[in-house]
Amino acid sequence: MTGYGKAVGEVQGKKITVELRSLNSRQFDLNIRTPLKYRDKESELRNELSKQAERGKIDFTVFSENKDGTSTVTINRSLAKSYFNEFKKLSLELNEPADNLIPLVMKMPDILKSEKQEPEEGEWNEVRHLIDKAIKDFKKFRADEGKILKNEFTSRIKNIASFLKEVVKADKERLVYMKEKLKKSLTELKEKIDQNRFEQELIYYLEKLDISEEKLRLQTHLDYFMATMNEPASGRKLGFISQEIGREINTIGSKANDAEMQKLVVQMKDELEKIKEQLLNVL
């Protein structure tokens, strides 16, 4: 959900700069900063940005400055002097150095002021045009980042699918090995056994190790993840699917009882963790 958009233009003799930034967030969290004369438009902007950005921690700024580069914001000098004198008196009373008081004064309330003026006829339309340009730039940034993420997710899902194929191959060999190991252990005991009972116990034991359903569900979840990537605003859904993928991988690992399969499980987990890290960037 990271994004950036910017537009600069001249409106009614002033340089207007519009910037739009976003960081990852589960909700829509908007911070708007505009010149005082445009404050009554903030409700309109909030509605528009909530539709366009959908989710994320959004910082939206409209900055106005004179053509010569000076800001339209002025300092309330009388109030600043009053704060300064009071701080200076306090420092003398406390016997503390009075150095560098200006930064402290500038942080006090109402030091910076802007004379509110109603926008001239057509001015807001021009500003809104710049805002629309910044939003368009912002959405393009997100779309470009989305293409990169989609390629990465596709690569990692394919890697997990490849490891799953190796698990399927190793699983067949594992079951044969387990049967032979059990028979060999019983032979070494040199005890007469009930063949029917042995078959029943063998089936019970192998069922405890069976991962047929997990393999099938894991492949289904992988396919579903790939299909969901093509849906709009699929971030939350992909997050849920990744949890299901992780659940099947963990179950395969707990049932594996085989060193080679455990290595494959670790590799699948590593790929999945890298997917989860990047899912925060998806709407």
3-class SS of residue 135 = helix
Alpha helix (H) ranges present in the chain?
Answer: 42-53, 77-93, 102-106, 123-189, 195-209, 212-228, 235-256, 259-279
- pLDDT tens by residue, the chain, 283 residues: 689 999 999 988 888 999 999 988 878 899 999 888 888 889 999 999 999 988 889 999 998 887 765 555 678 888 889 989 998 888 888 888 877 888 888 888 878 766 556 677 688 899 999 999 999 999 999 989 989 999 999 999 999 999 999 998 888 887 777 777 766 766 665 566 666 666 666 666 666 778 889 999 999 999 999 999 988 878 889 999 999 999 999 999 988 878 888 999 999 999 999 999 888 888 7
CA distance 257 to 171: 10
CA distance 157 to 144: 20
Length of the chain counted residue by residue: 283
What are 142's two structure tokens?
Answer: 């997100």
CB 95 within 8 A of CB 55: no
pTM of the model: 0.68
CA distance 69 to 220: 59
DSSP state of 39: G
